[in-house]
Structures are given as structure tokens and as C-alpha cells.
Amino acid sequence: MAVDTVLFALERGRLKAFLVQLKSGPLRGKWSFPGGLVRVGELLDDAARRELRTSTGLECAFVEQLFTFGDPSRDPRSHVVSVAYMALIPDPAKVRAPSAKYAAGGWFEVPGELPPLAYDHALMADYALARLKAKLSYTNIAAFVLPRSFTFKELEDLYAAILGRTLDRRNFRRRIQAMGLLKKLPHKRYGPHRPAALYSFQKTTPQVVQIL
């Protein structure tokens, strides 16, 4: 039994996933999502967080179970069943170099920049992206991708980037404001343009809502 984690983050307004390059074995040189075997007596969630921590250095991330992949041919070495997870962080710079069992690690834009992936991780990527898109419409999952404070435009851009389509910004803003998901902060962000109001989510725990 193994666990693998699809880690997402936004970088410069683009959705990216973190991949590691396999260092040994029959698929050496190929890219995959970080993961590994579950230890005897270890809970699946604990195994996923342990592998994510050793592969990326992340101590804190939103993590949820996705799906179980059990095709007997998915791993050329033996019949390995993998429980896939999705993880979200607000800052890709928090990820350090991967553990010594990997040759390299890096962020790749989803879906356009993903290289050919080992095992059935291309299917895993599709499943994770579909889950993320779906949960944007009925949960506050965006709270785990954005920093603690953000502008409304950054929230809009996040939805547009993940959904892969242009939003009706006026309608989107009206619906978000009517739901009471956000609180307006007393300070603003200053830059080359007019000062932008800053917001944060009212709750930073998973919440079911109806957004889109």
C-alpha cells in the first residue's frame, strides 16, 4: 500500500503542481507526485503527511484524500495500490528541495506544462484537478490557496485560473459579498495603482457553501 500526494499552489496567477524526479528503479528519470509506501501500523493520513513532509519540508498544508488507484499494472515492479491525496498551500516558495530519494523537484503548470508522468500519475493529476475545480463551487477551499490577506482581484484571479475560464466579475463579486465568507481588513495594499482593499476569510476551516 502506498500514498501519493498532488500538491497544488498558485504562482504568479497560474496553478502549478509539485513534481519529483525518480532517482532509481525501472522508471528512473521520470516525474511523479511525491509519495511512498505506508509503514506497518501507520494510518493512511499520517503516511501521506509524512511523505509530503519529507519530500517538500512542509509541516502544514491542507490535505484531503482523493481516490484509490489499484490497477495491477500501474507499477512495473509489483502490484502496489496507491491512495491519492490532494494538498494545497498558499506559497510555493515554502517547498524546499526534495529528499535524497529523488533526483530533483519542481513546480509545473497544470495542465499545460506537466511532463509525461510515471505510473498512473497523469490520471491522478486529472482526478485532483477535477476535485479542486468542483470544490471551488461549493466550499471555501480557496482559503487554503490564498495568503491570509488578499485583494478581491486576487480571489477572482484564483477562480479564473483554476476553472480555466473568464468570470463574470461583477456577478462573482456580488455573490461572494452576499455570502459573508470574507471580512474586510482595516488596511490596504499600496502599489503603482490606486490602493486596494484587503480581505481574509471569516473561517479557515473547511466549510460547505454554495458559491458558483
pLDDT at 165: 87
**Cα–Cα distance measured from residue 142 to residue 204, given in angstroms and rounded to the nearest whole number:** 10
Contact assessment for residue 136 and residue 163, using Cβ atoms and an 8 Å cutoff? yes
Domains belonging to the chain, first-starting first, are 2-136 (3.90.79.10), 141-201 (1.10.10.10)
Beta bridge partners of 32: 20
211 pLDDT above the threshold of 70 = no
Contact assessment for residue 201 and residue 182, using Cβ atoms and an 8 Å cutoff? yes
**Cα–Cα distance measured from residue 33 to residue 21, given in angstroms and rounded to the nearest whole number:** 9
Percentage of the chain exceeding pLDDT 90: 74
Contact assessment for residue 140 and residue 181, using Cβ atoms and an 8 Å cutoff? yes
User: What are the pLDDT digits (tens) for 119-172?
Assistant: 999 999 999 999 999 999 889 999 999 999 999 999 999 999 999 888 898 899
Run of H or E residues at 162: helix 152-163
212 pLDDT above the threshold of 70 = no
User: What is the identity of the amino acid at 19?
Assistant: L
pTM of the predicted model as reported, rounded to 2 decimal places = 0.92
Pair type for strands 31-32 and 35-37: unpaired
Q: C-alpha cell of 168?
A: 463574470
